[in-house]
Amino acid sequence: MTKRFSFDLKATDGKARTGVINTPRGEVRTPAFMPVGTAATVKAMMPESVRATGADILLGNTYHLMLRPTAERIDRLGGLHKFMNWERPILTDSGGFQVMSLAGLRKLTEKGVTFKSHIDGSKHELTPERSIEIQRLLGSDIVMCFDECPALPADRERIAESMRLSMRWAERSREAFGDRPGHALFGIMQGGLEQDLREESAEALRKIGFEGYAVGGLAVGEGQEAMFGCLDYAPDFLPVDKPRYLMGVGKPDDIVGAVARGIDMMDCVLPSRSGRTGQAFTRHGVVNIKNARHADDPRPLDENCSCPACSNYSRAYLHHVFRSNEMISGMLLTWHNLHYFQEIMQGMRDAIAAGTFEAWQAEFHAQRAQGDI
C-alpha cells in the first residue's frame, strides 16, 4: 500500500486512456465511475454492496455534510471513511456547484458565497479556505478546488468573469490545502463552451499545479453534442500524466463518449437516483419497470447481467415491489444500475488495454435497441 498519491498511465487507444490512481487507501482503476454518496451514504446501498458492484472510489458532498451532521462532528467521530464504513478512496466536491443549485438566498463576492441552508434556513459561508478545511476535516483523499460553475446559457463576458474568479479561487484553494502527502487537490477548468477561455483556464491551473484536473462547467444543460464538442479539445489542454475528471456525467453513452475523448474519472447521480424511480439501464437500453407490460414477465431485467436483481428476481417481481413502494425496489434497481455502470467501465478498461476500444464502442452502440425494451 503506497503512502503517496500517484497516477500510472497503463495504455492508450486513440484519445482513450486506462490507468491506475494509487492512494494510501487503495487503487482506483481508470476510467473510473464514482457512485455518489451525498449524505455519507450511497442511497439504498450498503457500502459492501457498493464495493461488490466494482466501485473503487465514492463521491461525498461538502455542501450536504457541512450542513448536516457538520464536518466538525464527522471529524470528532474519526472522519468520513470510518463514519460511513467505506475505507477505500473518497473524493469530495468543494460545495461550489451545490450551493448555487440548492441553497437559498445566495450572495456571491470575491471572498466566497454566503447562503441560507435549504434544511433549516441557517446562514453559512463557503470560501476557498473554508471549503478546503471542510474537506480536510472529512478526511477526503481527493479534494476539489472551490469553484463557480456559471449557469448556462450565459454570455461570453459572464463566462470569462466567472472562470477568472474560479482561477483566483483555485490559487487560494491550493494555498489553503497545504502539504498533505497521500492526499490530492484537483483543479477545475471552467470557460463554458469558449475554446479560448478553456485554454486560458487550463494554463492558469497548470501554472498553479495540481495532482489532477477536472473539466467543470459541463452537463449543465448544454446537451451531449455541445458537451462532446468541448471535450474534443478541452482535455488536450490538460497535463497528459495527471487524471482528468468530468463532473456530473452521465448517461451510459455520455460516459463512453467522454472516455473516448480522454476523460479518466466521472461521477453521476443518474444510476442511483433513477434506480430509486424504477428506471433500469441495461445493455439493450432503458427499462421503466413500473410499466404495466412487465407485470407478468418472468424474465430477468437483463439475461446477461450477473447482479443480484437479475440473478434472483423476475421483471414481474421488480414491477410488483415498485408498484407496492417496497424498500427493496430501490435497493435492487440501484444495485443493478451501479453494477451495469461498473461493467461498462470494466469493458472500456479492458478494451483500451487490448487496443480494441473502437470495436468495443461499435458493439456497445449496436446492442442498444431503440425505445423501451
Ligand X SMILES: C=CCOC(=O)Nc1nc2cc3[nH]c(NC)nc3cc2c(=O)[nH]1
Q: Is residue 243 at the binding interface for ligand X, with CB under 6 A as the rule?
A: no
Looking at beta carbons only, is 93 or 141 nearer to ligand X? 93
Location of C-alpha cell 488536450 = 236
DSSP 182: T
Looking at beta carbons only, is 67 or 332 nearer to ligand X? 67
Least Cβ distance, residue 354 to ligand X (angstroms)? 31
- Shortest Cβ contact with ligand X: which residue? 248
Q: How many CA atoms lie within 13 A of 132 on its CB side?
A: 24
Which residue stretch of 39-47, 134-142, 216-224, 309-317 sits at the interface with ligand X (rule: CB under 6 A)?
216-224
Strands 123-126 and 142-144: unpaired
Least Cβ distance, residue 91 to ligand X (angstroms)? 7
Looking at beta carbons only, is 248 or 330 nearer to ligand X? 248
Tell me, yes or no, if 267 is annotated catalytic.
Answer: yes
Given candidates 57, 137, 144, 309, which one binds ligand X under the rule CB under 6 A?
A: 144
CA dist 173 and 185 (Å) reads 8
Tell me, yes or no, if 93 is annotated catalytic.
Answer: yes
Which residue stretch of 43-51, 193-201, 218-226, 228-236 sits at the interface with ligand X (rule: CB under 6 A)?
218-226
Looking at beta carbons only, is 254 or 302 nearer to ligand X? 254
How many CB atoms within 10 Å of residue 155?
10
Cell (9 digits) for 31: 476510467
13, 56, 93, 147: the active-site residue: 93
CA dist 180 and 188 (Å) reads 19
Tell me, what amino acid is at 37?
Answer: G
Residues 254-293 that bind ligand X (CB under 6 A): 267
Looking at beta carbons only, is 36 or 301 nearer to ligand X? 36
Q: Helix H segments across 209-326?
A: 224-231, 252-260, 270-277, 308-312, 315-323
CA dist 303 and 101 (Å) reads 39
Q: How many residues line the site for ligand X (CB under 6 A)?
A: 16
Least Cβ distance, residue 136 to ligand X (angstroms)? 15
Given candidates 93, 200, 254, 302, which one binds ligand X under the rule CB under 6 A?
A: 93
Query: What φ, ψ does residue 167 adopt, rounded to 5°?
Result: -70, -35
Query: What φ, ψ does residue 178 adopt, rounded to 5°?
Result: 70, -155
Which residues in this chain contact ligand X in the complex, by CB under 6 A?
A: 93-94, 96-97, 144, 147, 149, 188, 216-220, 247-248, 267
